[in-house]
Amino acid sequence: MNRIVKKEKLAPQINLIKLEVPEITRKAQPGQFVILRIHEDGERIPMSIADLEPETGLLTIIFQEVGKSTVQLGKFKAGDGLCDVVGPLGKPTHIEQFGKCVCVGGGIGIAPIHPIAKALKKAGNEVISIIGARTKELLIMEEEMKKTSDEFVVCTDDGSYGFNGFVTQPLSQMLKDGKQLNFCMVIGPVPMMKAACMVTQPYEIKTMVSLNPIMIDGTGMCGVCRVTVGGKTKFACVDGPDFDGHQVDFDELSRRLSMYVKQEKISLEKYLSLTGK
């Protein structure tokens, strides 16, 4: 149950795992997420869905090793099983024929934007993708994104590959050049999502973001994932994770994401000392 059929290191500390969860894969749609636990005393870890293969029942997640649980998950190999996987959770991304769409993905956020780009393309949209990473080594899913895009831009913060700068810069340039965009989807680190939304706002382009606040049950029961959207409190797990980016209080989201920084450090240090690193 919940068997890992493939595990691949995409970049330093970035892993891809294909999970055999046919019932979830059959029902999941782009934009939704799953929650997994790796052992009996483990935390519930929300994970975006990076790809779905309904024919084979495989669901792909891509994650970065940042805390104890993700470092530990990084040690899992093909053939290992996870304690539990629950999903699909959250509302699917709203897909329709918008016209010209831009998908902006930053860092690990490229993973969840991939199935959305595919779905937008399938719905008859023209898809422009702008993806970026800190440096070339950390860039993921370039080929997959290129394949699903009509126009494709890649950026690195340090200029080691593609455009030298942030993803917001080519986006801004496109708009300045008078490109007519009908829909924008942004997924990535909070500061990047905030910046991209500031770019599209003056042009009144419908811009959706997928948020990743702290979650426990992921089904509306605890309220830890609450975010302020348009002055109202929403639960990202059941009202989202997609929200109108022009309405999201990103600063509050950043603060709430830092709630357990101290404990996360304790937990990771304890784990590393036990595993001898």
**Residues contributing to the site for other proteins (CB under 8 A):** 23-24, 27, 32, 37, 41-44, 68-69, 83-89, 216-217, 219-224, 226-228, 233, 235, 238, 252, 255-256, 258-260, 263-264, 266-267, 270
Nearer to other proteins, 23 or 151 (CB): 23
How many CB atoms within 10 Å of residue 205?
A: 22
CB of 267 to other proteins, least distance (A): 5
CB of 133 to other proteins, least distance (A): 28
CB of 191 to other proteins, least distance (A): 16
Nearest 5°: phi and psi at 136?
A: -55, -45
CB of 134 to other proteins, least distance (A): 25
CB of 109 to other proteins, least distance (A): 23
- CA nearest to 187, candidates 21, 3, 49, 13: 49
Distance CA 26, CA 10 (A): 26
Distance CA 147, CA 131 (A): 13
CB of 144 to other proteins, least distance (A): 26
Nearer to other proteins, 258 or 275 (CB): 258
Burial 130-152 (b: 16+ CB within 10 A, else e): bbbbeeeebbbbbebbeebbeeb
Distance CA 90, CA 219 (A): 8
Q: Is 27 helix (H, G, I), strand (E, B) or coil?
A: helix
The type of residue at 166 is F
Rg (CA), the chain: 18
Nearer to other proteins, 159 or 230 (CB): 230
Nearer to other proteins, 86 or 198 (CB): 86
Nearer to other proteins, 98 or 250 (CB): 250
Q: Is 106 helix (H, G, I), strand (E, B) or coil?
A: strand
CB of 58 to other proteins, least distance (A): 16
Nearer to other proteins, 170 or 218 (CB): 218
Strand order in the sheet with 51-53: 3-11, 14-20, 58-64, 51-53
Nearer to other proteins, 56 or 97 (CB): 56
CB of 137 to other proteins, least distance (A): 29
Burial of 230 per CB tally in 10 Å (0-12, 13-18, 19+): exposed
Nearer to other proteins, 38 or 128 (CB): 38
